[in-house]
Amino acid sequence: MKMKKLLALLLALCMVFALAACSNEDEKQSDGGDGDQTGTVKISIWTYPIGKFGDAEAVAELIEKFEASHEGITVEHQLLDYTNGDTQVTSAITAKTTPDIIMEGPERLVTNWGANDLMVDLSDLWTEEATADIAATSQSVVDACQLNGAYYEYPLCMTTHCMAINYEIFEQAGALQYIDEETRTWTTEDFVAAMEAIRDSGLVSTPGIVYCGGQGGDQGTRALVTNLYSGTYANAEHTAYTINSAENVQGLTLLKDMVANGSLSANASYEASQELQQFANGTCAVTFCWNASNKAQYAEDVSFTPFAMAFPSDDGQPELCGGIWGFGVFDNGDQARIDAAKEFIKFVCDDETQAKESVQMTGFFPVRASLGNVYEGTETEADAAEFLTLMPYMGDYYNVTGGWTEQRTNWWGMLQKIFVDGMDVQAAADEFVTASNANIG
């Protein structure tokens, strides 16, 4: 009798352990990656302040729409800024706590983190249809998002950086004759003549400012120099900087001469933000750092018409620097989270309804040709139109050249040596190239 009771007890215990083991196994199977017992996959996204992707409430609304249509995935958002953001990402890389998704441009996603084997290859998102659609807008975008055959960025939007003139000042000074208002282009010769007309009019304190107090807005001074005589900033393979070429030295020399004769000034304490404020105040007649975002930012400060212009070029065919923004996925070793991250990116960039709204959030323009003019019928349609005119002038996206961070410091240092210290132009350009090329690879 006692033996029967003992056997019954042992049998009951075995059943309890078996049930517990099955329950534990079921939880493991239902838990997708970093999830909970309901099977929810939790992912995170970090965004730099790219239009309304720098607005926590706007991103929260986007995430809410995604989660509503993608049950089983939840998304947490963290906002970065351009002062401390790179340091935060570097710290997260060291601590192995990087987000699943990060939004920025190829110079970070591809040339930096991708080149260091930290990112997931997103080639599966680059379908034949998507690639053709993006290439129809700009082959430069397609090329910039890949490295050694792997795609580390899936792009959403782009823009071309340009300059702008104070239309009324140009009109009063008789300088409008030197620009093509329809194409928003001008030649180097016309640029020189226009700035001299502004100088002679006495309508502003200085016609324009070559700012060289830091790296802020350096895309403007780079484009100004390289366009003047059709130079390049880097070679076609993006393996060397070329600012010491004959064409670029000629451009730098021209600008140095213009500073000497008062049709430009140089300021070693200004970055683009200070130059832009002088332009907005009406103190100078041009800005070398303009785009749709800056126009919106300074809209309340100006009492004149800022007229967007391509940079002057000797042949009248400008090649503008561009900005490309999209998404990359850090390789955290969890396939469920990687798959969920890709679903979020596809929703933001490819969904027929959401893609248009996502681009509008940035304030820039779609990389997909099929999206057309996403601002048509909106309050910002007119403002967008002037920058759309400049989009076909986008040149090579050389920002993916190695040693990018170091060369930015070298660039404004070189400008100070030329325009403030009076150093020989060729010598300063050679010094820049030697120092910057040393950091490539």
Radius of gyration of the chain (CA): 27
Mean pLDDT of 120-131: 98
How high is the pLDDT of residue 14?
Answer: 44
Q: Is the pLDDT of residue 23 over 90?
A: no
Residue range 225-237, pLDDT digits in tens: 999 999 999 999 9
Q: Is the pLDDT of residue 30 over 60?
A: no
Assign 35 a pLDDT band (cuts: 50, 70, 90).
low
Q: Is the pLDDT of residue 3 over 90?
A: no
Domain 162-319+402-437 CATH assignment equals 3.40.190.10: yes
Which residue is listed with tokens 């469920």?
Answer: 336
Assign 380 a pLDDT band (cuts: 50, 70, 90).
confident
Assign 27 a pLDDT band (cuts: 50, 70, 90).
very low
* Residue 125 in tokens: 């998102």
Of 27-41, 186-200, 208-222, 401-415, the range with the lowest mean pLDDT is: 27-41
**Equal CATH topology for 39-160+323-393 and 162-319+402-437:** yes
How high is the pLDDT of residue 405?
Answer: 86
Q: What is the mean pLDDT of the chain?
A: 91
Q: Is the pLDDT of residue 22 over 70?
A: no
Of 167-171, 333-337, 396-400, 432-436, the range with the lowest mean pLDDT is: 396-400
How high is the pLDDT of residue 382?
Answer: 84
Residue range 282-302, pLDDT digits in tens: 999 999 999 888 888 898 899
Mean pLDDT of 368-382: 91
Domain 39-160+323-393 CATH assignment equals 3.40.190.10: yes
> What pTM was computed for the model?
0.81
Assign 38 a pLDDT band (cuts: 50, 70, 90).
low
* Residue 183 in tokens: 């194409």
Question: Is residue 367 helix, strand or coil?
Answer: coil
* Residue 15 in tokens: 């059943």
Calpha distance 441→175 (Å, rounded): 46
Mean pLDDT of 318-334: 96
Half-sphere exposure of 18 (CA within 13 A, CB side): 6
Mean pLDDT of 160-177: 97
Domain ranges of the chain: 39-160+323-393, 162-319+402-437
The DSSP line for 12-75 is HHHHHHHHHHHHHHHHHHH--SSB-TT-PEEEEEEE---GGGG-HHHHHHHHHHHHHHSTTEEE
Calpha distance 412→219 (Å, rounded): 11
How high is the pLDDT of residue 223?
Answer: 98
Of 66-80, 318-332, 375-389, the range with the lowest mean pLDDT is: 375-389
- Identify residue 61 by its one-letter amino acid code: E
Asked if 106 and 140 touch (Cβ cutoff 8 Å), the reply is no
Question: Is residue 328 helix, strand or coil?
Answer: strand
Burial 55-72 (b: 16+ CB within 10 A, else e): eeeebeebbeebbeebee
Percent of the chain predicted with pLDDT > 90: 81
How high is the pLDDT of residue 379?
Answer: 87
More confident residue, 30 or 86: 86
Percent of the chain predicted with pLDDT > 70: 91
